[in-house]
Amino acid sequence: DLGSLLDDWAREELLVDDVARAIKRVRKAIRFSSFNTLQSQEQEHGFGEKMPFSEFFFRKGKVGNWRETLTDEQAAQIIADHCGVMKRFGYLTEDGEQV
Protein backbone atom coordinates (compact mmCIF):
# COMPACT_ATOMS: atom_id res chain seq x y z
CA ASP A 1 0.00 0.00 0.00
CA LEU A 2 1.55 3.25 -1.18
CA GLY A 3 0.29 5.30 1.76
CA SER A 4 2.13 3.12 4.25
CA LEU A 5 5.26 3.25 2.10
CA LEU A 6 5.23 7.04 2.19
CA ASP A 7 4.43 7.13 5.91
CA ASP A 8 7.16 4.68 6.83
CA TRP A 9 10.09 6.04 4.82
CA ALA A 10 9.87 9.42 6.52
CA ARG A 11 10.34 8.06 10.04
CA GLU A 12 13.55 9.49 11.45
CA GLU A 13 14.42 6.22 13.17
CA LEU A 14 14.34 4.32 9.89
CA LEU A 15 16.47 6.96 8.19
CA VAL A 16 19.04 6.78 10.98
CA ASP A 17 18.95 3.06 11.82
CA ASP A 18 18.57 1.52 8.36
CA VAL A 19 19.44 3.95 5.57
CA ALA A 20 19.61 1.21 2.93
CA ARG A 21 16.07 0.05 3.76
CA ALA A 22 14.80 3.64 3.74
CA ILE A 23 16.30 4.24 0.28
CA LYS A 24 14.83 0.96 -1.00
CA ARG A 25 11.36 1.98 0.21
CA VAL A 26 11.65 5.42 -1.40
CA ARG A 27 12.61 3.80 -4.71
CA LYS A 28 9.62 1.46 -4.43
CA ALA A 29 7.28 4.41 -3.74
CA ILE A 30 8.66 6.21 -6.80
CA ARG A 31 8.10 3.14 -8.99
CA PHE A 32 4.50 2.92 -7.76
CA SER A 33 3.92 6.57 -8.66
CA SER A 34 4.79 6.28 -12.37
CA PHE A 35 1.93 7.24 -14.68
CA ASN A 36 1.81 3.81 -16.33
CA THR A 37 1.63 2.06 -12.97
CA LEU A 38 -1.09 4.38 -11.67
CA GLN A 39 -3.10 3.98 -14.87
CA SER A 40 -2.79 0.17 -14.75
CA GLN A 41 -3.82 0.06 -11.10
CA GLU A 42 -6.85 2.22 -11.88
CA GLN A 43 -7.89 -0.08 -14.74
CA GLU A 44 -7.57 -3.15 -12.49
CA HIS A 45 -8.94 -1.79 -9.20
CA GLY A 46 -10.61 1.55 -9.94
CA PHE A 47 -9.72 4.89 -8.37
CA GLY A 48 -11.81 6.50 -5.65
CA GLU A 49 -11.28 10.12 -6.74
CA LYS A 50 -12.44 9.59 -10.33
CA MET A 51 -15.44 11.73 -11.20
CA PRO A 52 -18.57 9.68 -11.99
CA PHE A 53 -18.84 11.19 -15.48
CA SER A 54 -15.17 10.50 -16.36
CA GLU A 55 -13.96 7.27 -17.88
CA PHE A 56 -10.58 7.49 -16.10
CA PHE A 57 -8.85 9.67 -13.51
CA PHE A 58 -5.39 9.00 -15.00
CA ARG A 59 -6.14 9.92 -18.61
CA LYS A 60 -3.08 10.85 -20.66
CA GLY A 61 -0.13 11.58 -18.42
CA LYS A 62 0.73 14.74 -20.34
CA VAL A 63 1.77 17.84 -18.40
CA GLY A 64 -0.53 20.77 -19.08
CA ASN A 65 -3.21 18.69 -20.84
CA TRP A 66 -5.81 20.22 -18.54
CA ARG A 67 -5.66 23.34 -20.73
CA GLU A 68 -7.13 21.30 -23.60
CA THR A 69 -9.64 19.49 -21.40
CA LEU A 70 -11.08 21.88 -18.80
CA THR A 71 -13.30 24.84 -19.55
CA ASP A 72 -12.22 28.26 -18.25
CA GLU A 73 -14.98 27.98 -15.65
CA GLN A 74 -13.74 24.58 -14.44
CA ALA A 75 -10.15 25.83 -14.19
CA ALA A 76 -11.30 28.93 -12.27
CA GLN A 77 -13.26 26.75 -9.82
CA ILE A 78 -10.25 24.51 -9.20
CA ILE A 79 -8.08 27.56 -8.58
CA ALA A 80 -10.67 29.04 -6.20
CA ASP A 81 -10.98 25.76 -4.29
CA HIS A 82 -7.25 24.94 -4.10
CA CYS A 83 -5.46 28.31 -4.32
CA GLY A 84 -3.27 27.81 -1.24
CA VAL A 85 -1.97 24.41 -2.27
CA MET A 86 -1.46 25.56 -5.85
CA LYS A 87 0.65 28.50 -4.65
CA ARG A 88 2.66 26.24 -2.37
CA PHE A 89 3.51 23.90 -5.25
CA GLY A 90 4.26 26.72 -7.70
CA TYR A 91 1.22 26.41 -9.97
CA LEU A 92 0.17 29.96 -9.07
CA THR A 93 2.12 33.11 -8.25
CA GLU A 94 1.56 34.78 -4.87
CA ASP A 95 -0.93 37.04 -6.70
CA GLY A 96 -2.91 33.97 -7.79
CA GLU A 97 -1.85 34.09 -11.45
CA GLN A 98 -1.22 30.83 -13.31
CA VAL A 99 2.43 29.99 -13.90
pLDDT tens digits, one per residue of 27-55:
888 888 889 999 998 999 988 888 888 88
Residue-wise pLDDT for 77-88, tens only, equals 999 999 999 999
Q: Please name the amino acid found at residue 46.
A: G
Q: How many helices (H) and strands (E) does the chain have?
A: 6, 0
Residue 13: is its pLDDT beyond 80? no
The terminus-to-terminus CA distance of the chain in angstroms comes to: 33
- b (16+ CB within 10 A) / e for 26-36: eeebeeeeeee
Q: DSSP assignment, residue 2? A: H
Residues 55-73 pLDDT 10s: 888 888 888 888 998 999 9
